[in-house]
Amino acid sequence: MNDELLARVTAWIAGDPDESDRETLELLVRDGATEELERRFAALLTFGTAGLRGPVMAGPAGMNRYTVRRATQGVAAWLQASDVDASRGVVVGRDARRGSEAFNDEVVAVLLGAGIPVYEMPGPLPTPLVAYAVRALGAAAGVMVTASHNPPGDNGYKLYDASGSQIVPPDDEIVERYSAAATTPSLGTRDDPRHHAVPEALLEDYRRHALARFAPPSPSDLAIVYTPLHGVGGATMTALLAEAGYRSVHVVAAQFEPDGRFPTLPFPNPEEPGALDLAIARADEVGADLVLANDPDADRLGVAVRDGANWRVLRGDQIGWLLASALLAEAGPDDVVATTIVSSSMLEAMARAAGVDCVTTLTGFKWIARAGGERRLAFGYEEALGFAVDDRVADKDGMTAALALARLANELALRGQSPLDRLDEIESRFGVHAVDQLALRVEGPGGRARITAMVERLRAEPPSHLGGEPVTEVVDLATGWRGLAPTEGVALLAPPSRVVVRPSGTEAKVKAYLEVVVGPDDRTLAEQRRVARKRLEMIRSELAARLD
C-alpha cells in the first residue's frame, strides 16, 4: 500500500463518527487489502442525475455517516454563502432503506449545529412529500435520504433548493467543494428550539390537493392492485386511492410493509423484468384490470394493464403518452410540457397538435422541473417512469401520477375501453413510436472507467447505419446540443430512428435509448408496429454488438 493511500485512509478514519466503519477500515489496513481500499477511496461521491448515490460502505466512495455528515456541512456552507435566507430552514426526510435512519439523524444534527432550522418528516415517507414541503413551508432547501429504485445495498442523498427542485450546476459543484473542505462539525440535538416536526396538516394539504385534482367524479368499481415494492408509499397511496373513491383496491401483502432488504426483488425498480410479477399474480386472483406500482420512495410509477388473457407492462414512454392525452386538454395557453432527450419524441407531436409548447431537457427531473421557466409546467415525464402531473411538486411524483392514471383508466372503463385502446388512438394519429432500451450493468473496480471507455469508443467509431438507415448525424453531447448544457453521451441520428447512449447517473450502467417512428400512413396499425419492431430489433442487435 502506497503512502498516499494510507494517509487518506488514516485521515478518513480520524474523522469518521461510526465505530463500526472505523473498525472495518482499520482491519482492511492491517490486512493490506489495497485493492479494496482503492475501491473505497477512489473518489468522493458526487452529485449525479439525482444527487449522491452509492453502496452503503465505509470510505468516501460509499454512503455512510461520515459521507452524509460532510455533505450536510457542504449544504450548510452553501446556504450560508448564498442569497437564500438559511433561517427559513431545511426540510429533512428519509425512506426505509438500510442506513436511512442514521443518515437522517446526521443531517438533522449537522444542520442544527450550524444554526439552521430543521423541519423533519415524522417518519420514513415518500420523496415527493419532501419536495412538496419545501415549497409549502417556504424553506431554504430540502434533503431526502434515499436511493430511490437502486439495488438494496445502495443509499443516497437528494438535495432540493428553495424552489423545491433538485439542485443543478453550479450549486451541486459548490456543495461538493464545501463538503470536500469539511472539518469536525458542531452537532445539535432535537431539543433545540429550531427543530420542528413537519406538521400533519401540511401532509394533509398534499393529500387534499391531490384528491381535488385527480379523484374521479363519483365512486369507482375499477379493480386495482397496488404495490409499493417494499417501499414507503404503501400507507399514503392506499389511503389516497380509498379517499378518491376506488372501492376495489387490493395490495400485494408480501411487498406492502417498508423493508430495505427488498426480500422479494433483486432490484426494487418497477422497470426491471419480473418486478411486477407478484402484483400481476394478485390481479389475476382478484380479477383486477390495472396494476399500479411505486418504487421504494414512491417518486416513480409502474403500470401493467390486462390485455385479454395476458398482461402488458407499460413502458415509461407509454405511461407518459397516456397521461399526456388527459393533461394536455387541461393545459393553458401559457403552460409548457417537458420531456428529456432520451424519452420518446411522441410528446412533442401530441403537444404541437394541442397548441402547447414542449421543451426537451437533459436527463433528470432537476431539468424537467425547471423547463417552464416562469411558465407553469403542466406535465413533465421521463421514460424511466418519472412523471410530474401537478406543479405543486417540483419533482417527479409517483403518487399523484398513480391517481391521474387511475382516473384515466376509470374514464376509459366507463366507455368500455382500456388504456391499450387509448394507446392505439394515439399511435394511429401520431405514428407508431417504437422504443426500447439497452442497459449494460458494469460492476466491480474500474466499472466507471469501463463505462466511460464504451461511450468513448462509440464516439470515436460510430456506426454508419442503424437498422438499415444511414446515420446522418453523430452528436457529442459533451459539447452541448440544441441549446442544452453539455452532458456525457452520444446521440446517433438516422431518421426516422434515433439512439442516445449515456452512462447512468444513478447506477453502474451504460444505457442506450432507442426510438423508431413509423407512420402514420395507409398501412394498418398492426403492420406499422411490425415494421417498427423489426427495425428496432435490428438496431438493438447492432448496438449490443458494438458496445459489448
| Tens-digit pLDDT profile for residues 53-83 | 999 999 999 999 999 999 999 999 999 999 8
- Is the pTM of the predicted complex or chain greater than 0.75? yes
Residue 143: DSSP 8-state:
E
Task: Tell me the C-alpha distance between 308 and 346, whole Å.
Answer: 26
pLDDT at position 421 over 90: yes
Mean pLDDT of 223-229: 98
What's the longest Cα–Cα distance across the chain?
A: 73
The set of cell numbers assigned to 347 is 410528446
φ, ψ of residue 202 in degrees (nearest 5)? -70, -40
pLDDT above 80: residue 507: no
Bridge partners, 515 (sequence order): 435, 498
d(CA 109, CA 98): 19
Cβ neighbours around 96 below 10 Å, total: 19
Give the number of other Cβ atoms within 10 Å of residue 133's Cβ: 26
Could you tell me what percent of the chain has a pLDDT over 70? 99
Q: What is the rounded CA–CA span in Å between residue 472 and residue 491?
A: 11
| pLDDT bracket for residue 227 (50, 70, 90) | very high
Per-residue pLDDT at 506 exceeds 70: no
The set of residues, in sequence order, having a beta carbon less than 8 Å from that of 201 and lying 6+ positions away, is none
Question: Does residue 448 carry a pLDDT above 80?
Answer: no
For 51, half-sphere exposure in the C-beta direction (CA atoms, 13 angstrom radius) is 27
Give dist(CA 102, CA 122) in Å, integer.
15
What's 87's DSSP letter?
A: G
Q: Which residues pair with 231 in a beta bridge?
A: none
The domain spans of the chain are 1-41, 45-193, 204-428, 432-547
At a CB cut-off of 8 Å and minimum separation 6, what does 242 contact?
Answer: 249
Q: Are 110 and 72 in contact (CB under 8 A)?
A: yes
More confident residue, 1 or 541: 541
Closest CA to 320 of 255, 274, 268, 388: 388
Residue range 432-547, CATH number:
3.30.310.50
Is pLDDT at 139 greater than 90 in this prediction? yes
Which residues make Cβ contacts (< 8 Å) with residue 64, sequence separation at least 6?
A: 16, 18, 21, 56, 57, 58, 99
The residue among 460 and 165 whose pLDDT is bigger is 165
**Secondary structure (H, E, C), 451-471:** HHHHHHHHHHCCCCEECCEEC
Q: Is 336 in contact with 358 (CB distance < 8 Å)?
A: yes
Task: Determine the average pLDDT of the residues in 247-269.
Answer: 96
Residue 446 has pLDDT above 70, yes or no: no
- Reply yes or no on whether the pLDDT at 444 is more than 70: no
Q: Report d(CA 439, CA 508) in Å as an integer.
A: 10
- What mean pLDDT do residues 441-456 have? 76
pLDDT level of residue 212 (50, 70, 90 thresholds): very high
- By three-state DSSP, how is residue 512 classified? strand
The answer, yes or no, to whether residue 374 has pLDDT greater than 70, is yes
Among the residue ranges 24-33, 36-45, 199-208, 275-284, the one predicted with the least confidence is 36-45
Catalytic residue among 82, 100, 148, 344: 148
- Catalytic residue status for 343: no
Mark residue 344 as left, alpha or beta (left: phi above 0; alpha: psi -120 to 50; beta: remaining): beta
**DSSP at 478:** G
Mean pLDDT of 362-376: 94
Write the pLDDT tens digit of every residue in 29-47: 999 999 999 999 988 898 8
Grid cell at residue 177: 467543494
Give burial (CB, 10 Å; 0-12/13-18/19+) of 235.
Answer: middle
204-428 shares the fold of 45-193: yes
Q: What is the mean pLDDT of residues 233-241?
A: 98
Give the Cα separation of 73 and 77 in Å (integer): 6
Question: What is the rounded distance in angstroms from the CA atom of residue 108 to the CA atom of residue 49?
Answer: 24
Which CATH number is correct for 204-428, 3.40.120.10, 3.10.20.30, 3.90.1150.10, 3.30.70.2860? 3.40.120.10
- Which residues contact residue 233 at a Cβ distance below 8 angstroms, ignoring those fewer than 6 apart? 126, 294, 296, 297, 298, 398, 399
Task: Report the DSSP beta bridge partners of residue 500.
Answer: 491, 513
**pLDDT band (50, 70, 90) for residue 482:** confident
Q: Which CATH architecture has domain 45-193?
A: 3-Layer(aba) Sandwich (3.40)
| Average pLDDT along the chain | 95
d(C-alpha 459, C-alpha 163), whole Å: 36
